[in-house]
Amino acid sequence: MRVMWGLVLAAVLATQSLAGAPETSPRPPLRLLEAIVPPGPEQAALDPEESPALVTQRRPVARPAALEALLHRNLAQELKAAGVPGFVPEEAALSIARSQAFAARSPQAIGLSLRPLLRPESMVERVMAKRRERARGAVCGDVDLQGEAIGYVPGKIAACGVSDAVRLRSVSGVALSQQAVMDCTTAKALKQWVNRAVKPAVGTQGGGVSGLRVAAHYACRTRNNQPGAKVSEHGKGRAIDIAAIRLRDGSEMSVLRDWGQGGKGRALRKMHSAACGTFGTVLGPGSDGYHEDHFHFDTARYRSGSYCR
């Protein structure tokens, strides 16, 4: 089959070459501009009978100047009425005059530019200021972690203290009810938990997550405040206790009140189990009697893996 097509193609080529090159170029001669488009905006009303060349040309026709002016005037008025910030009527008028002059010179030109208006300087400045502020408040090299770096925090006893601490205000846009002191490892773990566990578990309930009610953070104390016990991870800036998730409608998902009950209880259980692995220790209601009203998370690492109850 392929051989046959090859033969046909060869025959066609041979015939063409025998016919010889054309004497003149097959390209049509250029038409004079006047023949294509007569000057003036009246062309919109051209009669196809009178100038068939124009019909076959199928070029767009310029809008009549009156329509153009009307469009521009309306646009300017709408922008003004809408109170678009930074809208300068003089600039808009200049731009309109410019495009009208352009349209007058070339009948094919579309007078009204589809280019969006430039952002006013004031708006750009506001956005940049917000960005700078966020960058200034970033800790642990992450703009999602907002707070301040406080460096070395000495402990009352040798086993306490944090070598490179931060005082955290918010995590991925979720505000902490009190500024919490911890190290960057713990701050980053908290961010991961907020994004991967808290936000998905809450979803749109109550309008979504707005904050975390922090029950405890850095504190130089023994485990569960028991005399003679080892120093808690709280005393090393590696732990945080969360008593509730605050929602945008002002309500809460409270560990004390909602654990084991209804939709809020199910969401809390999801957050609790999803914390395992992100944190080295995860404790909550039912784990040891000390965590009935809050979740305890810390970033202590054990050889046996995470400890989650």
Residues that bind Zn ion (CB under 5 A): 239, 241, 296
Q: Which is nearer to Zn ion, 63 or 295 (CB)?
A: 295
Q: Which is nearer to Zn ion, 205 or 287 (CB)?
A: 287
Least distance to Zn ion from the beta carbon of 267, Å? 21
Q: Quick one: which of 233, 305, 247, 239 has its CA closest to 276?
A: 305
Q: Which is nearer to Zn ion, 63 or 217 (CB)?
A: 217
Least distance to Zn ion from the beta carbon of 223, Å? 9
Q: Which is nearer to Zn ion, 258 or 298 (CB)?
A: 298
Between CA 185 and CA 188 the distance in angstroms is 5
Between CA 186 and CA 191 the distance in angstroms is 9
Least distance to Zn ion from the beta carbon of 291, Å? 7
Least distance to Zn ion from the beta carbon of 296, Å? 3
Question: Which secondary-structure segment (H or E) carries 44?
Answer: none
Q: Which is nearer to Zn ion, 92 or 299 (CB)?
A: 299
Provide the residue count of the chain: 309
Per the listing, tokens 């999803």 go with 274
Question: Which secondary-structure segment (H or E) carries 70?
Answer: helix 65-81
Least distance to Zn ion from the beta carbon of 284, Å? 10
Least distance to Zn ion from the beta carbon of 153, Å? 17
Which pair of structure tokens corresponds to residue 148?
């301040």
Q: For Zn ion, which residue has the nearest CB?
A: 296
Between CA 79 and CA 92 the distance in angstroms is 10
Q: With contact defined as beta carbons under 8 Å apart, do 233 and 273 qualify? A: no
Q: Which is nearer to Zn ion, 144 or 241 (CB)?
A: 241
Q: Residue 222: how many CB atoms within 10 A of its CB?
A: 16
Between CA 238 and CA 162 the distance in angstroms is 8
**End-to-end Cα spacing for the chain:** 75
